[in-house]
A and B are shown apart, each in its own frame.
Chain A
Amino acid sequence: MTIKQVSVFLENRPGRLAEVLGLLKENKVNIYALYVSDTTQFGILRLIVDQPEAAFAALKENSMTATLTDVIGVSMQDECGALYEIIHTIKEEGVSIEYMYAFAGRKGTNPAALVIRPADMREMIDMLQSKGFKLLSLEEI
């Protein structure tokens, strides 16, 4: 079970992030999580949104370089040590991660989640499920 993440190429210059976010707002796309990975030259904006396909189409239409990437959402309790438990397991099992980020979830309804882009998707999913972690669909976020 995977989630579609929207990745956008951004040059490091003022106002660029606002342009992308403005575009998503116009298209009524709701953002659940956002993570920017940057170098001195450029950044990659990674987004978990309610309508990834619509967001992707809107970005393309506006000549932005974007791509949809599969990532895994792992459910976590919003409590001390929950993140540690997942990461510790991944480490113990020797499965590698390209990048990851976490978000706290919405009060009362949806749980906190850890987003993982693994080096090997199949391996990571099998391992997490065998260890009893719950993987999230987009609807559950």
Chain B
Amino acid sequence: MYWNEEIECMSKEQMCELQSKRLVDTVKRVYENVPFYRKKMEEMGVMPEDIRSVEDLHKLPFTTKMDLRDNYPFNTFACPMEDVVRIHASSGTTGKQTVVGYTEQDLEVWAECVARGMTALGVTKKDRVHVSYGYGLFTGGLGAHGGAEYLGATVVPASTGNTSRQVQMLVDFQSTVLCCTPSYALYIADEMQKMGITKDQLNLKFGCFGAEPWTEHMRAEIENKLGLEAHDIYGLSEIMGPGVSMDCTEKTGLHIHADHFIPEIINPETGEVLPEGEEGELVFTCITKQALPLIRYRTKDLSRLTWETCGCGRTLPRMEKVTGRCDDMLIIRGVNVFPSQIESVLLEYGQVEPHYMIYVDRKGLLDTMEVHVEMTEELFSDAVRNIEAHEKKLRQRLESVLGISAAVKLVEPRSIPRSEGKAKRVIDNRKLV
């Protein structure tokens, strides 16, 4: 079953032709409307006329998360603010968030991408879609919501939290599709067990799980516990949000909506484009976005690409399930966390040369984060309550900057190992097997 058969089953030649036309338009538009891109292109000596087809893509400059921060909040937008109808945001590498915007048409494209992906699983307007991604600045909730609604399904905008009530709704409404992070899906299964509810009392058929790394092992576990087909949905707010790609009934990679996003795989060290099938950093160029058409945006996600026709009949290129990151970003309970954010909190707290270590673990089914900070002269006091007050204040500041809670533990000076060169800041004990 296809949502847009013409596009989803288009030959590679036709797809390249469509991409080329859209790329040329986009490059011209960003050159004219976004001073940041004009400057970047001029520095590289590339003019819009130099880009005639997708073959010329490699001539264009990359865009990074840092560029978005430098142009905070709206300076990378390519359309007038009055045409922007929605803002979303995600964590930045330091204090500031990364802000993204959408025009009405951008939202419609987003909804169609999600609708295409859900249709590929077998979801129809007769389905009931329970969305347990967070609603708000995070793209997960509203992204899945918009797609399911566009498809004509019945949407239950449950958002996150109050898991027992969510389980009760799944039973009462007999929803057929569940959208959430894979770890939350397992958490729901756990809650069901506590409540004495079996998977036979639910009516779930499909799951669209994403926003954090997960494994085939977790896929099997979720399928077994919830009695559904578990699918992978990929996306990032800078490009659009969830739905940039999604796997199909074959579960052999995620189909990328290449008519909207041109994927590349590059060597993260050199920036050189790698041949089909090789592993490297995923890079996307948005060729239909009006508000934020990013050029060669470096996702820092590691994957590989194939243009081979899929068993489901789609010719859309597929990316392998993301296997890791080529930076130090952590994904904790679906939220992006950068060690540099933690460092900025400590610096603001008056720590001149902060020594810290981040411990990530999965206790039961939820990710936990504990930040160890070395005790200093300034923080130390003879009174227990003063030290506890520091811990509490640090905890509050971290939570407000990171958007998720983290435990803080003050440890003895010099107890965190020093390393020459790049310091090791993270110990991730989550077993992703």
Contact = CB atoms under 8 A, between A and B. Distances in A.
A9 interface: yes
A10 B384 contact: no
A7 interface: yes
Contact of B380 (A63, A67, A98): A67
A37 B415 CA distance: 21
Interface in A68-109: 69, 98-99
Contacts, number: 44
A27 to B, nearest CB: 19
B387 A63 contact: no
B382 A64 contact: no
B395 to A, nearest CB: 12
A37 B384 contact: yes
Contact of A11 (B381, B383, B391, B411): B411
B377 interface: yes
Interface in A42-81: 42, 44, 46, 63-67, 69
Contacts of A69: 382
A46 B410 CA distance: 18
Contacts of A10: 412
Interface in A1-44: 5, 7, 9-11, 16, 37, 39, 41-42, 44
A39 B413 contact: no
Nearest to A5: B382
B42 to A, nearest CB: 52
Given A11-B415, A65-B376, A65-B377, A41 B410 contact: yes
B410 A42 contact: yes
A39 B409 contact: no
Majority secondary structure, A binding face: strand
B408 to A, nearest CB: 9
B276 interface: no
A65 B412 CA distance: 7
Contact of A46 (B380, B382, B388): B382
Contacts of B376: 65
A39 B387 CA distance: 11
Interface in A94-137: 98-99, 117
B194 interface: no
B383 to A, nearest CB: 6
> In the complex, which of the residues B380, B391, B409 has the most CB atoms of chain A within 10 Å of its own CB atom?
B380
Interface in B378-433: 380-384, 387-388, 391, 409-415
B253 to A, nearest CB: 46
B375 interface: yes
Interface in B161-208: none
B373 to A, nearest CB: 12
A135 B184 CA distance: 62
Interface string B5-43: 000000000000000000000000000000000000000
A63 B414 contact: yes
Contacts of A39: 384, 388
A98 B383 contact: yes
Contact of B381 (A5, A41, A46, A67): A67
A11 B373 CA distance: 12
Contacts of B375: 9, 65
Contact of B382 (A7, A41, A42): A7
Contacts of A7: 382
Interface of B: 375-377, 380-384, 387-388, 391, 409-415
Interface of A: 5, 7, 9-11, 16, 37, 39, 41-42, 44, 46, 63-67, 69, 98-99, 117
Going nearest first, the 7 A-B pairs with the smallest beta carbon separation are A7-B382, A69-B382, A63-B414, A65-B380, A65-B375, A63-B413, A11-B412
24 contacts: A7-B382, A9-B375, A9-B380, A9-B412, A10-B412, A11-B411, A37-B384, A39-B384, A39-B388, A41-B391, A41-B409, A44-B382, A63-B414, A64-B412, A64-B413, A65-B375, A65-B380, A65-B412, A66-B380, A67-B377, A67-B381, A69-B382, A99-B383, A117-B382
